[in-house]
Amino acid sequence: MDTWKKWAIGAAVVVVVGGGTRAAGLWGGSNGSSNALKFSFPTEIQTLDFSKNTDTYSGTIIGNTGANLLRVNAKGKAVPELAKSVKVSKDGLTYTATLRSGLKWSDGSSLTAKDFVYSWQRIVDPKTASQYSYLASGVKNADAITAGKAKVSTLGVSAKGNVITFKLERAMPQFNYLLTFANFMPQKQSFVEKQGKKYGTTSAKQLYSGPYKFEGWNGTNNSFKLVKNDNYWDAKSVKTKEIDYSVVKKPETAVQLYKQGKLDRASISTPELYAANKSNKDKVKVPEATTAYIEYNQTGKNKFLANTKIRQALNLATNRKELVDQVTSGISTPANGLAPQGLAKTASGEDLAKYAAPGYKYDAKAAAKLFAEGLKEVGETKMTLTITSDADSSAAKTTLDYLQGSLQKPLPGLKVEEKFVPFKQRLSDSQTQNFEAVVSLWGGDYPEGSTFYDLFKNGASYNHGQFKNSAYTAAVNKAETTDALNDAARDSDYKTAEAALYKDANFNPLYFRAGYSLARPSVKGIITNTTGLNIDFKYAYRK
């Protein structure tokens, strides 16, 4: 009997002493200086190979440890970074970038124009098999090279001395932003080839050109840090010496750590966390440049959806405000067009989404009237509509549940059926037109309208409903050719395009996705972007 008691006391002592010494910091572990900024990711990071990366959080590390020709500033404009200047020819087909002198990699070796050429060639090379090679589409021969029909060396990117020249096949209004992108940051050929298959798999197997160096990541571990890069060209603007990162998978835990002062930022984007922290004064909105919308199958396979009045009725019967409140606890924003809030600014500095909004609204009465007329036109008295959505996302599920209930009420004769399939199945169903209506999400790649307006051009591969709207296509084409370098004219083209989509009710915008975070007010200078690098620490510091 006594033996058991001794054991129990022993075990209790171990726990108490262990906990106590840990609390006293005797076990090490509380790494980093107290002045360091502290952030977390909800998942592990995957790679530092930025030609291949598809992961947002790996992208945050990559973007803060790297630099490109231009960098997006606090006002959302692309300003010179490694380039002294970037000039564009009158036809918009040639861009000439001149590098600053004395640029260096984090290891002290010199960074040259050739490193940019190599990086552009690497991403379009079919051997690299990058999932983002399409971003280079428009640069001379990029598509042909990716398809394996031309040599990598024929790409329209060349270097001479400290000048890099880009030749384009067509004018690209977004090209300046591509020059800020992490995927196109310089890479040193000799380093990449030396690392071979292990390139970018640990923090030691990458070179850095940006404000910070990345340290302490062995490919698996969950705590690592960004350390100021003294070889960065603008190191004098970087006030923070160290940013500690850890992986905290449960968002509730991250919020608790924020409240204990152990993290400087925590996402509260789930409806439950948002509801619990709504009145916290540290709350900030984080727009995402992502639009959720319904696509209607307009191939003619479904005679109801081929009818404009029925589509208009469905759009009018959609109560976007209520949807946002019920599905996302009011976190997201009701959509009033295709291009989302926070994506881009017009020439005069207004939000593009606000400027181009064609006037989507909820009007049950008008909807019922149009629906009755539409049914008459197709010679039916009732309609069954199957809407497809993702089975593996709780937001997608609640969205569809809401739509089912709310569309049927104002439209007598309508029966909405739910069809849930896995995300990957939904993508392939959309691409093969195996749907009647489908809830889709689209996120922008760069802060310019074409990242959204390219979607629905006649014959475009993302136009899953396969509708043809000539007025829309003409307006978007005009924006991307004649008006490519004329910001104000392009804005008005996009407005025309939105109006054309609205008139024919070719799609049904639901909401612009957004999130909320708790952010430490004493940490200043963080730049958040809706596309590209989502959180930029270059100017960040603790006051």
Q: Quick count: other Cβ atoms within 10 Å of Cβ 398?
A: 16
Interface with other proteins, residue 18, by CB under 8 A: yes
Instruction: Note whether 187 and 15 are within 8 A (CB).
Output: no
431 dihedral zone (left: phi>0; alpha: psi -120 to 50; beta): alpha
Write out the E strands in 16-156. 37-41, 70-72, 78-80, 83-88, 94-99
Q: Tell me how far apart the alpha carbons of residues 254 and 43 are, in angstroms, rounded to a whole number.
A: 12
H or E element, residue 537: none
Interface with other proteins, residue 300, by CB under 8 A: no
Instruction: Note whether 345 and 365 are within 8 A (CB).
Output: no
Candidate list 89, 394, 428, 481; residue touching other proteins; CB under 8 A:
428
Minimum separation from the CB atom of position 391 to other proteins (A): 11
Tokens of 218: 């062995």
Interface with other proteins, residue 172, by CB under 8 A: no
Is the Cβ of residue 145 or residue 353 nearer to other proteins in the bound state? 145
Interface with other proteins, residue 29, by CB under 8 A: yes
Scanning 26-34, 293-301, 332-340, 357-365 for contacts with other proteins by CB under 8 A, the matching segment is 26-34
Minimum separation from the CB atom of position 394 to other proteins (A): 14
Candidate list 75, 90, 197, 365; residue touching other proteins; CB under 8 A:
197
Minimum separation from the CB atom of position 357 to other proteins (A): 24
Candidate list 392, 409, 412, 417; residue touching other proteins; CB under 8 A:
392
Candidate list 27, 235, 321, 412; residue touching other proteins; CB under 8 A:
27
Coil, helix or strand at residue 374: helix
Scanning 42-50, 150-158, 470-478, 510-518 for contacts with other proteins by CB under 8 A, the matching segment is 42-50
Interface with other proteins, residue 17, by CB under 8 A: no
CA 200, 202, 204, 210 torsion: positive or negative? Answer: positive
CA distances to 131, 139, 140, 459, 480 from 473, rounded to whole Å, are: 26, 22, 23, 10, 11
Candidate list 462, 481, 488, 521; residue touching other proteins; CB under 8 A:
462
Interface with other proteins, residue 424, by CB under 8 A: yes
CA distances to 352, 403, 477 from 338, rounded to whole Å, are: 10, 19, 16
> Considering all CA atoms of the chain, what is the largest pairwise distance in Å, rounded to the nearest integer?
93
Tokens of 303: 């005679």
Candidate list 47, 240, 277, 332; residue touching other proteins; CB under 8 A:
47
Interface with other proteins, residue 325, by CB under 8 A: no
Q: Tell me how far apart the alpha carbons of residues 83 and 79 are, in angstroms, rounded to a whole number.
A: 9
Interface with other proteins, residue 24, by CB under 8 A: no
Angle, vertex CA 224, rays to CA 220 and CA 229, nearest 5: 130
What one-character DSSP code corresponds to residue 345? B
Interface with other proteins, residue 34, by CB under 8 A: no
> What number of chain residues touch other proteins (CB under 8 A)?
66
Interface with other proteins, residue 23, by CB under 8 A: yes
Candidate list 13, 409, 415, 423; residue touching other proteins; CB under 8 A:
423
Is the Cβ of residue 198 or residue 303 nearer to other proteins in the bound state? 198
Q: Tell me how far apart the alpha carbons of residues 118 and 184 are, in angstroms, rounded to a whole number.
A: 10
Is the Cβ of residue 41 or residue 502 nearer to other proteins in the bound state? 41
What one-character DSSP code corresponds to residue 33? -
Candidate list 90, 127, 365, 543; residue touching other proteins; CB under 8 A:
127
Interface with other proteins, residue 54, by CB under 8 A: yes
Instruction: Note whether 120 and 157 are within 8 A (CB).
Output: yes
Is the Cβ of residue 29 or residue 108 nearer to other proteins in the bound state? 29
Q: Tell me how far apart the alpha carbons of residues 68 and 80 are, in angstroms, rounded to a whole number.
A: 9
Minimum separation from the CB atom of position 124 to other proteins (A): 11
Tokens of 216: 């302490």
Interface with other proteins, residue 281, by CB under 8 A: no
Candidate list 129, 235, 275, 276; residue touching other proteins; CB under 8 A:
129
Candidate list 84, 198, 278, 285; residue touching other proteins; CB under 8 A:
198
Q: 462-467 contacts: CB < 8 A, separation 24 or more?
A: 464/295, 464/297, 464/430, 464/431, 464/433, 464/435, 464/438, 464/440, 465/295, 465/296, 465/297, 465/298, 465/299, 465/506, 465/507, 466/297, 466/298, 466/299, 466/433, 467/296, 467/298, 467/504, 467/506
Minimum separation from the CB atom of position 324 to other proteins (A): 22
Is the Cβ of residue 98 or residue 458 nearer to other proteins in the bound state? 458
Minimum separation from the CB atom of position 537 to other proteins (A): 21
CA distances to 43, 53, 113, 152, 449 from 48, rounded to whole Å, are: 15, 7, 21, 23, 29
Residues numbered 464-493 forming contacts with other proteins, rule: CB under 8 A: none
Interface with other proteins, residue 101, by CB under 8 A: no
Residues numbered 216-255 forming contacts with other proteins, rule: CB under 8 A: 218-223, 246-250, 253
Minimum separation from the CB atom of position 261 to other proteins (A): 12
Can you give the binding site for other proteins, defined by CB under 8 A? Answer: 1, 4, 7, 11, 18-20, 22-23, 27-31, 43-44, 46-47, 49, 52-55, 126-127, 129, 131-134, 146-148, 197-201, 218-223, 246-250, 253, 256-257, 260, 392, 421-425, 427-428, 431, 441, 445, 461-462
